[in-house]
Chains A and B, each alone.
Chain A
Amino acid sequence: MDDRRLRVLIVDDEEELVSAIGERLHLRGFSTSGVTSGSAALEYLNHNSCDVVLLDVKMPGLSGLDVLRRIKQEHPEVAVLMLTGHGSKRDAEKGMRLGAYDYLVKPVSIGVLVQLLRDAGSGQRADKKK
């Protein structure tokens, strides 16, 4: 029942991906919002509270890492899950060092995503690392 209260912000330049993941998480009881750029994400966080940010690494304009850095500075309480392509694993690992909770490689399994979001939301560190 805690899940119901978990608020997730989805950040990806692919609008369709944002909406699909959003709907699926919503069906699973998450409270979701979506934006399609890094600056929009920061803007959202300035005005809304959120538990976990699902953040795409590679985006035009502000990159995922820039956004992560800013979130960690301005909203350190928010957990960040990085979302990457195969070619951007190095960026994702860099993100881990910058304080990301974990990272996921696209395309992601919804089960794994839900599990990670729950872990991140409850403040537990995942033991398994890729």
Chain B
Amino acid sequence: MTEETSKSIVAKEDVPIAHRRYRKVLITTVLLTSVVAVLPLVIMTGVNFDQYRDAFNFEVTRPMLRFVSLGQQSMSTFLAERRLALGTIAHETTLEELEDPNALGDILGDIQTVFTDVIDLGLIDERGIQVSYAGPHELQGRNYSHFDWFNAVDIRGNSVSDVLTDSGGVPHFNIAVRFARDDDRQHTLRMAVNPDAFHWLGDFETFGYRDQGSECQGCHSLGVQTSSDAFIINRSGTLQTSSRHYGESLRRSALPPLAARPEATLVELEDSSGNELIVSYADVANSPFTVVLMNPRTALGSSSLLRDLLIFMAISILLILTVVIGGSTYVVNRAREADLKRAMYYHEMEYTNKMASLGRLSAGVAHEINNPIAIINQKAGLLRDLMTWSTERPSSEKILSLTNSILSSARRCGRITHSLLGFAKHMDVEQQTINLDHLVRDVLGFLGKEASHRQVDVAFEYSGDTPSVVSDKGQLQQVFLNIINNAFAAVKDGGRIEIGIEPVEEQSVAVSIADDGAGIPEDHLAHIFDPFFTTKEGSGTGLGLSITYGIVKKLGGRIDVSSEVGKGTRFTVTLPIGELNG
């Protein structure tokens, strides 16, 4: 063959219907799509939250620290000014003047023109007795020896007391300085200061601090009308000014003990009432005071933002998952239905072809089987004739010969029906060891009559030692019957068909069927395995080779075809030798 066109068909996947496979596809699709859709959302939410928290720290914590720091400085200045005033009086004024309540009263008057918050002045001797007093109360002769602040003055030279309410129920605190005169006698000069002087603490804008949270109608505490709360506590946590959250001064705050911090510090803590708070505070040097600014965590929005983000994310993920699962299920189900339909059509097609093959077969079989039946009929009829028509009884030899002939014809019928039954088996793959020589010979048995009538020369060469294959006998019979039938259709009367079987490649056997018929044009060759492609107008279903192809694929083999117009066609079926399972 000089100009040979050849085509190899690669395996098409068999139609899978396994439920588990679709489930796996569904799960994979859902997982992949979900990850692709949800992951960026989660990352973006995280990044958002992180950025927001940075901004929050910048916007919220810094001003708080600044406020406390400025408050601490103001307090220090406040106390230092008054301490300085006391020191100046102590040094610039004679002891006699100080010991004279009237003179002291004049000095108080001078001071009060500058420091309106100063309530009174008093001179205390070494024993702690107030020897001179100027002010609104009757405190001349009062003993201060048991007060902490007085003892502190003894050690440090000056001191500031906690806020007290000892005389007349008016809250105040004492600032005291110690001085000595020429006779080395130690005296203490004391002033009481009204803590209302710290009103500026509630006036946040003094320090450029913007309140957090919403406005609180009717709230009144140091003028603070918001969720922010600024106040002063002493070292033991007692309020030195009133607080929005914890009430009037001298009550205990619910804050846990705060570690001493000379610098403004920010802590997140929970008070004894269970409120989550962000607290900035700083100790005022040389005093028992600590400036505190606190905000409820919730008012600052950090946690509520986190919560909002989480809710947003949860709803988004829920939506995404609903759409993904719903969509994927729909698509996979549709694919499955389509596959099922395809499988159904395929089986139907296979069945149709089987029926067509059987139809072709039955014509041949009818002819094949008619002859032996006719013989039986005539031989038996002759036997009866001999018994009834002849005057002489037939000889034993004659009877024996006739009955043998009948039996032999009956066996012939039996063989034909047996072959037909073998062919008509159902379509599932049934594995068994098959000798291809025998199989091809059986198939040729169906066509022997046609070969002899049409004087087609069928050359079937086999070495006798070709390996057996493990495959499905019924289906292989159909395969070879289809191909050999086609070869018979292709050749003219007196044509030639060559069939050869030989081992090839690894663990495979090739059966080739070559005819010297008309050949297949190149443009047809590409379509011969397509369903419903036929050139036998009116008589062909166009399914034979398509089904043949499908069966060979199902059995793990392949079909190659080469053809040249006018010279002939060669089909080669390559089958794996295979092994019996179980």
Q: Hey, which bits of chain A sit against chain B, CB under 8 A?
A: 14, 16-17, 20-21, 23-24, 27-28, 58-61, 63, 85-88, 106-108, 110
Contact = CB atoms under 8 A, between A and B. Distances in A.
B385 interface: yes
Given A16-B409, A20-B375, A106 B370 contact: yes
Interface stretch (B12-20, B225-233, B359-367, B511-519): B359-367
A58 B452 contact: no
Given A14-B374, A16-B375, A110-B381, A87 B367 contact: yes
Given A59-B453, A86-B370, A87-B366, A24 B375 contact: no
A27 B386 CA distance: 8
| Chain B at the A interface: SS class | helix
A88 B367 contact: yes
Q: How large is the interface on B (under 10, 10 to 19, 20 to 34, 35 or more residues)?
A: 20 to 34
A17 B382 contact: no
B398 to A, nearest CB: 10
Contacts, number: 67
Nearest to A88: B367
A17 B378 contact: yes
Nearest to B398: A23
A63 B454 CA distance: 10
Interface in B365-395: 366-367, 370-371, 373-379, 381-382, 385-386, 389-390
A1 B492 CA distance: 50
A63 B385 CA distance: 31
A87 B374 contact: no
Contact of B455 (A17, A60, A108, A110): A60
B361 to A, nearest CB: 11
A21 B371 CA distance: 13
Given A108-B374, A110-B381, 20 more contacts: A17-B374, A20-B379, A20-B381, A20-B382, A23-B385, A24-B381, A27-B382, A27-B390, A28-B385, A58-B453, A60-B452, A60-B453, A63-B453, A86-B370, A87-B366, A87-B367, A87-B370, A107-B378, A110-B378, A110-B385
A20 B375 CA distance: 7
Nearest to B365: A87
B194 interface: no
B385 A107 contact: no
B405 interface: yes
A39 to B, nearest CB: 13
B384 to A, nearest CB: 9
B46 to A, nearest CB: 82
Contacts of A27: 382, 385-386, 389-390
Given A59-B453, A85-B366, A106 B371 contact: yes
Contact of B371 (A14, A23, A24, A61): A14
Most A CB atoms within 10 A — which of B378, B390, B405?
B378
A17 B271 CA distance: 120
A28 to B, nearest CB: 8
A85 B375 contact: no
